[in-house]
Each structure stands twice: as structure tokens, then as C-alpha cells.
Structure 1
Amino acid sequence: KVVLITGANHGIGAATAKALATQNSSVFVTYHRDVCRYSEGELQEAKEAGTGGDVLYRAMQQQSTDSLVRYIHDQGGTAVAHEADLANADNIPLLFDLCEEKLGSVDILVNNHTCCVLETFDPALTSDEGSGIHLPTAATIDAHFATNARAYALMMSEYLKRHLQRECEWSRIINVSTDAAHAHLANISYAASKHAIESYSRSAAAEMGKYGITVNIVAPGTDTDRLHYT
């Protein structure tokens, strides 16, 4: 099988790529390194220490997929990586084109990419590092929904279109959400956009099933040891 996994340069995405590669799947992994407010020194220090809250998360997010692809190749697997910002809708069909060119048509789609910026309706809240957390703005709300909701929907739509074009009878979509989609203190737009993912997923499951596509949601809890997967 050919698997396209987004947000796979760290954490759950990288772990998923490793797991599926051991099952003889060819994996096409994507990632996006956004502008980071921390210095290279701060990121490296957090990564070496293995602690640091938001700093550690950003450090893992700033990685390339070089070590992941190398690991899969060393284990005898097949992996190709490509960096793309899925908030730009024009990149989505290009991503499928590239995967088809390198590995073949996508059998399994794992949407795992995310935008996660601290936001709150409570100005008294602070981050793990002790800094203040901003109120939501139009820009931060749009950023979350462009990446976490719209891109998921467009990835599924593009996948369905190609599934129908090749008259395939078996396909799988897995969308990664969170068990805090109903509400998440200090991550309010993140949670709201994840809630949108779950709504899209349930609608897709109901409507795509007759075409041989199953759609499932994975909603990890806050105790997931995602930061220690590379």
C-alpha cells in the first residue's frame, strides 16, 4: 500500500510512518516548518533536555524528515518526503501528483498536520514558560482553520476525486484530532478547528462509505508521549 502522511516530521506523524513502513507500506511524508519565535539556541537546548513545554514542541516541529526517511530506509522500507504548507490550498493537488510520481496512487491517507498557537479568552492565563497568552485574533483563528480544518477537508476531497478516477474499491482515511476537541483551555482555536475536523470526518464517513472508503478519527489524549518520537 501507498500511504500519504501529513505532519510527519515529529511526534504522532513520524511514529505512524515508522509503524506503517514496517508493514510493507511505502510512505510519502509531508511536513511544514513555520516561522518560529524561539532562537536556534533555545530550540536546541529544549530538544537536548527533553523538556520545555511549547519550546520543546516547536523544536520538534522545526525538524526536517531526513532522520525519519533515513531510519525507514535503514530498516529496508520505502519513504519519500516533501515539505509543503497545506494552508495554501494550491499545494494539495500538487502533493498528490508528487506522491503518485514517486510511489504510486495513494491507498491510505493519514491527515495529521496541525497549527497550534496558544490563545485564550482568559488574560490571566500564562504559558508553561510563564509568558502571557494572547486573546484570539482574526489572523490566528484563520491560521488554525486554514491548516486544521480546511486543509483536512480539501485533502479528503482530492483523495476522493482520485479514488473515483481510478475506480478503486478500497481506500482508507485516518484523521488525527484530539480528545480535547470539545474545549481546550489556552488552545481555543486549536480545539475549535479540531472539532471541525471531527464534523468533516463524520460527514465523509457517511458519504464516502458507498465508494469503498472508510473514514476514522484518532483522538489522542494529553498523556500521549508524542514529543519523544522523532
Structure 2
Amino acid sequence: MTSDHTAIVTGANHGIGAATAEALARRGCAVLCTYLRVADPEDPGIPRTFRDNRAADAAAVIARIEGNGGTASAVEADLSDPATPVRLFDIAEDRFGPVDVLVNNATGWLADTFGAAATDRAGRTLQPVTAETWTRQFTVDAMGAALMIAEFARRHIARQATWGRIIGLTSGGQLGFPEEVSYGAAKAAQENYTMSAALELARYGVTANMVYPPVTDTGWVTDAVREQVANSPTLIHIATPQQVADVIAYLASDEAALITTNVITLR
């Protein structure tokens, strides 16, 4: 990857998104870091550090990238607004040039359930599934990601480009995501959109993949979560955001040209 590439990374003010923006910048990519500050309510099951991270802007991320000689800029934007993708691509092109790397990392994450429990196994507050929880989750994780892919594709094809990378992040699985049911369902929709993009855009030199991170400590991992991981037969590691970001950055490289239409599960 060279400085000829421009990336948009959504949800880049903290966690995996911030680490991905920094990893791409280290590889010479100009990065537009998009984010939306979220003021989460107090929750005894969620550390204050995580809530503070979600409420922060991306200034510290941009400072780290520029301090290491990289090129980046930040824009606050709400992906639940259908007009946002066009705006973001316009800004990225104006500042850095055509976008050929898209990382759909942002999420409208919340924990909702069909059951009667007030908290999940980690002690986080659960909400019942409602039209409001569904809308919050699907407008960002499904609609927002789909419209970002659509705008990427439209511009890529119009300029007759021959190289592109689309990477999304997912969670849940074939059996759903108990206690985070709308989150899991919205991510399943994003997976489907991304796989369709991989097949439809392959002729234009675009690869598209989803990354399924392990439990990743972005500030929300508590002792209860660590105990769950230790006792699980399938959860092996608690990753750092940087470990996940390195995989995403690889998928955005020339070396990953043959990797497409995959959900890459990290453990």
C-alpha cells in the first residue's frame, strides 16, 4: 500500500476503528476518520472508560497518526442519516483523493433481548427489543454500511478504477446473538451486503471481506467478561484493538488480492 490510497474508516474515534486508522496510516494510506460521539447512560456492567471512549472525538487519533508522519483528518457524522455517505466521500476526495479503501467499523451497539432478564451474563443492562432498538441498530450497522458500500461502488465504477478494498466487522453467528439480538441481526445483514459486493464488484478489482474479531478489549472488558472467556470452549483470546487492526490492514493490502467473499473469524 502506498500514499496513493485513501481510506474511510468509520467509528474511528476509539477501539478497533482508531487502531485500524493508525495501522492504515502506517502503511502510507491517507485516512478519513469518521465517528459519532455517543453519550451512554450509566451502567454498572460497563466500565466508565468505555463510555468515555465512545463520547470522545477523534482528535487524539489524528494527533497520533500525524505524530508518526501519517496523513489523516476527522469528521463527525451520523451514519443513520442517509445523506451521510455522499458527504463523507465528498470530504475524503476533496482532502485526499478518490477513496479505494472502505472500513465499515461503526456500530450503533446496544444490548437488547427477547427474554425477561434485566442484565446479561456480564452484568450489562438489557433492553427489550422495540422499534427504537431495532432502528438504532439497523440504521447504522445495516443501512449505513450498505449505503457506504453503494457510494464506494458508484464512484469506483465511474472513474474506471481497478483496485479497491471493502472490509466490515461482524459479530453473532448462525444461531443469532442472544442478549444482543438486534446487533447480531444487523451485522448479519451487513455480512450479506458485503458478500454481494464482493461478487458484484470483483470485475472492477474490488475485494470485500468481513472480520469477526474475538472478544476485544476496547475498554468494556471486565473481570466478569474475562471469566467468561476463560471458561468458554470457543473463546480463546482477548485481543487488543491493534491485533484486530493488523488483520484489517492486511486485507487492505496488495498481498491480500486473492482474499475475498470471506468472513474471517479471529480467535
Q: Give TM-score, length-normalised by structure 1.
A: 0.88
Q: 2:217 aligns with which of 215, 218, 225?
A: 225
One-letter code of the match for 1:135?
Answer: P
Moved more, 86-95 or 122-131: 122-131
Displacement of 1:229: 5.3
The answer to whether the 8 A contact 1:169-1:212 is kept is: yes
- Structure 1 CA distance, aligned partners of 2:103 and 2:164? 11
- Structure 1 CA distance, aligned partners of 2:154 and 2:91? 16
Q: Which residue is 1:88 aligned to?
A: 81
- Structure 2 CA distance, aligned partners of 1:202 and 1:131? 32
Q: 1:36 aligns with which of 20, 34, 40?
A: 40
The answer to whether the 8 A contact 2:33-2:72 is kept is: yes
Q: Indicate the percent of aligned positions where both proteins have the same amino acid.
A: 38
Structure 2, unaligned runs of 5 or more:
220-239, 243-267
The answer to whether the 8 A contact 1:3-1:107 is kept is: yes
- Structure 2 CA distance, aligned partners of 1:61 and 1:132? 17
1:142 aligned onto 2:112 = no
- Structure 1 CA distance, aligned partners of 2:39 and 2:60? 21
Q: Which residue is 1:168 aligned to?
A: 161
Residues 88-140 of structure 1, C-alpha deviations (whole Å, 9 max, x = no match) = 01111011001111111101111100011111112124147857522100111
**Backbone CA RMSD of aligned residues:** 2.0
- Structure 2 CA distance, aligned partners of 1:149 and 1:6? 13
One-letter code of the match for 2:149?
Answer: M
Describe the SS at the equivalent of 2:184.
helix
Q: 2:194 aligns with which of 169, 194, 201?
A: 201
Describe the SS at the equivalent of 1:88.
coil
One-letter code of the match for 2:82?
Answer: A
Residues 149-206 of structure 1, C-alpha deviations (whole Å, 9 max, x = no match) = 011111000000000111101111111112x233222111001101111111111111
- Structure 1 CA distance, aligned partners of 2:135 and 2:10? 20
Q: 1:154 aligns with which of 147, 156, 179?
A: 147
- Structure 1 CA distance, aligned partners of 2:64 and 2:135? 35
One-letter code of the match for 1:97?
Answer: D
- Structure 1 CA distance, aligned partners of 2:47 and 2:14? 14
Describe the SS at the equivalent of 1:226.
coil
Structure 1, unaligned runs of 5 or more:
47-51
The answer to whether the 8 A contact 2:111-2:125 is kept is: no
Displacement of 1:35: 4.0
- Structure 1 CA distance, aligned partners of 2:182 and 2:104? 18
Instruction: Evaluate the alpha carbon distance shift between residue 54 and residue 87 of structure 1 in structure 2; reply closer, same or farther with a 3 A threshold.
Output: farther
1:19 aligned onto 2:23 = yes
Q: Which residue is 2:106 aligned to?
A: 113
Instruction: Evaluate the alpha carbon distance shift between residue 123 and residue 96 of structure 1 in structure 2; reply closer, same or farther with a 3 A threshold.
Output: same
One-letter code of the match for 1:226?
Answer: T
Describe the SS at the equivalent of 1:123.
coil
- Structure 2 CA distance, aligned partners of 1:171 and 1:9? 24
- Structure 1 CA distance, aligned partners of 2:166 and 2:11? 15
Describe the SS at the equivalent of 1:205.
helix
Q: 1:8 aligns with which of 6, 12, 35?
A: 12
Q: Which residue is 2:115 aligned to?
A: 122
Moved more, 6-15 or 125-134: 125-134
One-letter code of the match for 1:208?
Answer: L
Q: Which residue is 1:102 aligned to?
A: 95
- Structure 2 CA distance, aligned partners of 1:129 and 1:209? 41
Instruction: Evaluate the alpha carbon distance shift between residue 203 and residue 226 of structure 1 in structure 2; reply closer, same or farther with a 3 A threshold.
Output: same
- Structure 1 CA distance, aligned partners of 2:50 and 2:80? 20
The answer to whether the 8 A contact 1:123-1:132 is kept is: no
Q: Which residue is 1:188 aligned to?
A: 181
Residues 41-73 of structure 1, C-alpha deviations (whole Å, 9 max, x = no match) = x9xxx9xxxxx6364432211111011100111
